[in-house]
């Protein structure tokens, strides 16, 4: 078989581990030929290919990013995009595709399956917001990076007796904020799933100052104050209709300073959460996903996504995986709130 593989959407640690696993098992066990498509869905639209051989994936397990490159291209928003994609697949005699990505990339994969294109999906997103899988790879690394940043910021906050607001990624799901906030001992955690009351946040901050400690507030970029709106870092939308969020951390730090009279600073972690070496957990999970994805391709079990359920890797319909975002449930937020202040 000739198997195509691509990485779409935002990059994250662990993508190369999937490519390595797909290639090693595909070539060594099944005798497949693996063809990489560069720059996400743009690759099969424009015929951007590169062969993935055993030598090419030999030293990439611990590398962040993706050796194939990525993009937020949506074939259904490109003039003639789907037809061009199908033509490329036919030209290169591709029997099936492995699409590695998050909600948008796998949403395209699900639509292409309906168009007759054989695709198997692999769940990737640092936001951990894909339904039908317990965890996505990239999430653990992002949480570790954010937690380390909180640990480092705590020492400088204590030294200067100031409040520090740490803005992490999380457009519509607060998993990174919740997990890094809990692991870093944050005094307040704010997520998109629940609007926050600024006065209540200020009260928690004051409690911390009264105990002679510096407050640490972790806020997801998509968190919204009561009666407010998402703060946008830019007005343009990408090919999937998303705007770029950002700025809630700075806004909140200014509010805290104004209302308490205490010095307050904001730190936006941004793309540092996406970059660098994947954790051991993400390397293992990504590798397992890759091995099971090439199994599904070989079995002809298309239109599926490999998913983690407990400790097992299973196959679920792509439609089930992309039907809804997995957000933080209220009971998880209630667990954390007892630690605030």
For the annotated binding site, the residues are 10, 103, 125-127, 162, 169-171, 221, 265, 271-274
Backbone angles phi, psi at 329, to 5 degrees: -70, 155
Task: Give exposure, 39-78, as e/b (b: 16+ Cβ within 10 Å).
Answer: bbbbbbbbebbeebeeebbeebbebbbbbbbbbbbbbeeb
Q: Which one, of 12, 20, 179, lies nearest residue 105 by Cα?
A: 12
C-alpha to C-alpha distance for 176 and 313, rounded to whole angstroms: 23
CB 125 within 8 A of CB 37: no
C-alpha to C-alpha distance for 31 and 28, rounded to whole angstroms: 6
Binding site, annotated residues for Mg(2+):
103
Q: CA torsion sign, 187 to 221 to 42 to 307? A: positive
User: Which two tokens mark 174?
Assistant: 């607060």
What lies within 8 Å, CB to CB, of 251 at 6+ separation is 231
Does the annotation count 129 as an active-site position? no
Binding site, annotated residues for substrate:
125-127, 162, 169-171, 221, 265, 271-274
Annotated active-site residue in 11, 104, 127, 140: 127
Residues tagged active-site? 127
């Amino acid at each position: 078989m000739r198997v195509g593989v691509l990485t779409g959407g935002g990059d994250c640690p662990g993508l190369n581990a999937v490519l390595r696993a797909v290639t090693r098992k595909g070539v060594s066990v099944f005798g497949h030929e693996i063809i990489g498509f560069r720059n996400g869905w743009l690759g099969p639209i424009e015929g951007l290919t590169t062969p993935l051989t055993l030598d090419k994936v030999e030293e990439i397990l611990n590398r962040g990013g993706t050796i194939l490159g990525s993009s937020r291209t949506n074939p259904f928003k490109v003039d003639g995009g789907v037809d061009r994609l199908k033509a490329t697949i036919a030209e290169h005699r591709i029997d099936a595709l492995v699409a590695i990505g998050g909600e948008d990339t796998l949403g395209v994969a699900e639509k292409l399956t309906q168009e007759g294109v054989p695709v198997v999906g692999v769940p990737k997103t640092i936001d951990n917001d894909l339904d039908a899988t317990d965890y996505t790879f990239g999430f653990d690394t992002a949480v570790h990076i954010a937690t380390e940043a909180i640990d480092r910021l705590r020492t400088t906050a204590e030294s200067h007796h100031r409040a520090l607001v740490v803005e992490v990624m999380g457009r519509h799901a607060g998993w990174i904020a919740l997990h890094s906030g809990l692991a870093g001992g944050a005094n307040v955690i704010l997520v998109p799933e629940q609007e926050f009351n600024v006065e209540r946040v200020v009260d928690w901050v004051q409690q911390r100052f009264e105990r002679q400690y510096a407050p640490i507030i972790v806020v997801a970029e998509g968190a919204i104050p009561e009666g407010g709106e998402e703060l946008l870092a830019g007005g343009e939308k990408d090919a999937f209709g998303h705007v770029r969020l950002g700025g809630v951390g700075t806004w909140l730090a200014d509010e805290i300073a104004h209302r308490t009279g205490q010095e307050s600073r904001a730190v936006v972690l941004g793309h540092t959460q996406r970059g660098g070496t994947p954790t051991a957990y993400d390397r293992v999970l990504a590798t397992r996903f890759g091995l099971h994805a090439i199994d599904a391709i070989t079995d002809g079990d298309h239109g599926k996504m490999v998913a983690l359920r407990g400790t097992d890797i299973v196959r679920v319909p792509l439609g089930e995986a992309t039907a809804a975002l997995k957000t933080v449930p209220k009971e998880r937020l209630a667990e954390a709130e007892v630690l605030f202040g």
